[in-house]
Chain A
């Protein structure tokens, strides 16, 4: 099975900060990677699919990059509504493993 490792597991940031979250796969997954945002008590919400494509309705301050084994989710200017937990997930082949998550909270 492909393992997904996210870092950091948590971070504190201020409104307006640029935030970067990384996700590493245990083998090449080409660009078969999604990013999700989850707020407390809610279902996850898809932000980025295929490593770098922005899901419809998601603000352009979110972007994704990477291929192979190393991927990045960037929030260019953190907004109050962005404080949440973020997960990566590979979609290369089942089982479609999630990363452990990155909790972004207020500094």
Chain B
């Protein structure tokens, strides 16, 4: 069955960078987009961006442009989300999620979710 296993919790200082991994298994990695979504404590869901594992094409929300980078390692079926110049307000749970469409010709939205990675920005 589909599994998305994310790396463990991180504590970072303002201005630092964090890189969260998401290892996929149970399906053909290159057939499905992967999304990143974050949720600040007590707040709603915020879609951050998406990566095409077949080719590496990405799309980011404008507010994160220049600070977020999605990359992948197809040899290990792993996607990485790096966020730089961290601010206190970046404290959140970060989720990766597999798209529902079994082809990268379309986007269906997040269907299967990882367990989340808590990133805390604290001085």
Residue B27 interfacial (CB < 8 Å): no
The CB with the most chain A CB atoms within 10 A, among B107, B108, B110, is that of: B110
* Cross-chain contact B95 with A95 (CB below 8 angstroms): no
Residue A100 interfacial (CB < 8 Å): yes
* Cross-chain contact A98 with B107 (CB below 8 angstroms): no
A87 CA / B46 CA spacing, docked (Å): 11
- Binary interface profile of A, 75-107, with partner B (CB < 8 Å = 1, else 0)? 000000000000101010011111111000000
Residue B50 interfacial (CB < 8 Å): yes
Main secondary structure of the interface of B (DSSP, over half): strand
**Residues of A contacting B109 with CB < 8 Å?**
34, 46, 49, 89, 91, 96
* Cross-chain contact B59 with A94 (CB below 8 angstroms): yes
Residue B11 interfacial (CB < 8 Å): no
Interface size counted on chain A using CB atoms at 8 A: 22
A36 CA / B100 CA spacing, docked (Å): 13
A37 CA / B100 CA spacing, docked (Å): 16
* Cross-chain contact B59 with A100 (CB below 8 angstroms): no
When A91-B107, A95-B59 are in contact, do A43 and B47 touch as well, CB less than 8 Å? no
* Cross-chain contact B44 with A100 (CB below 8 angstroms): yes
**Residues of B contacting A99 with CB < 8 Å?**
44
Known: A36-B45, A43-B115, A101-B45. 17 other contacts (CB 8 A): A34-B108, A34-B109, A34-B110, A43-B116, A44-B113, A45-B113, A46-B109, A49-B100, A49-B108, A49-B111, A89-B110, A94-B49, A95-B61, A96-B107, A98-B44, A98-B45, A98-B47
* 8 A–B pairs (Cβ distance < 8 Å), ordered by A: A43-B115, A44-B45, A46-B100, A46-B109, A50-B108, A89-B110, A95-B47, A98-B37
